Amino acid sequence: MELLVSPINTDEAKAAFFGGADIIDVKNPKEGSLGANFPWVISAVIEAIESKKPVSATIGDFNYKPGTASLAALGAATAGADYIKVGLYDIQTAEQAEDLLSNVVQSVKRCDPNKMAVAAAYADYRRINSISPLLLPEIGAKVGADVVMIDTGIKDGRSAFEFMTEAELTTFVDAARNLNLRSALAGAIRFEDMEMVKRINPDIIGIRGMVCGGDRNDEIKQELVEKLRAQMG
């Protein structure tokens, strides 16, 4: 299981890197769960960690705007991100998800076929009026995505585990694996959740608030990244 930590600037990126994160995920929480940061911040983070770890970049929580999402994906890819992550925030049907994701994947792969396209859905999909994450592995495999992810859409301290059961999350991870996709789990994960996370066994866990001391609006602390890394084993 790999550890993805989401900094908002170079100082936080260094704390994540030196704390032992496997993937440095540049985001902007002011713009939502998967809020997009600026291209120059992505580039600065890559420089700050001397390209020693893969860098991910979120491009936003998207409703059905395939063209806008495709341009945002290309921007993140050309800024140097290795993983480009898009959230299906207000996507009403599997057909809309497939259309948006297929165009995002095309943008990413035309830039560099080695870059990874990440499709994210939300554990709290019912309260944000979006599609179930359980549909995502099949859609992701169909359009050529590399990673499928579950996060929470509304960041109010409630975790993914309050909206989906351990069995549902395990089904998601197993479905992704059976379709040769990598899986990622995020959404206000806490230290006390880690035994359950290990049982679910996603390929990647995504963290911010947990290593900020519980408040995602605080700064990432290297010692908390180190604590989590040690707990992961």
- Between the alpha carbon of residue 227 and those of residues 108, 190, 208, 230, the distances in Å are 34, 12, 14, 5
C-alpha 83/C-alpha 72 separation (Å) is 13
- Of 27, 52, 109, 198, the active-site residue reads 27
- Residue 213 backbone zone (phi > 0: left; psi -120 to 50: alpha; other: beta): left
Decide if 145 contacts 121 (C-beta within 8 A): no
C-alpha 176/C-alpha 118 separation (Å) is 12
Decide if 35 contacts 64 (C-beta within 8 A): no
Please say if 27 is a catalytic residue.
yes
Please say if 14 is a catalytic residue.
no
Helical spans, DSSP H, in 112-193: 125-128, 136-143, 166-178
C-alpha 33/C-alpha 146 separation (Å) is 20
What DSSP state is assigned to residue 127? H
For residues 23, 85, 106, 143, the Cα torsion angle rounded to the nearest 10 degrees is 100
C-alpha 107/C-alpha 197 separation (Å) is 32
- Of 14, 53, 65, 85, the active-site residue reads 85
- Residues classed as catalytic: 27, 85
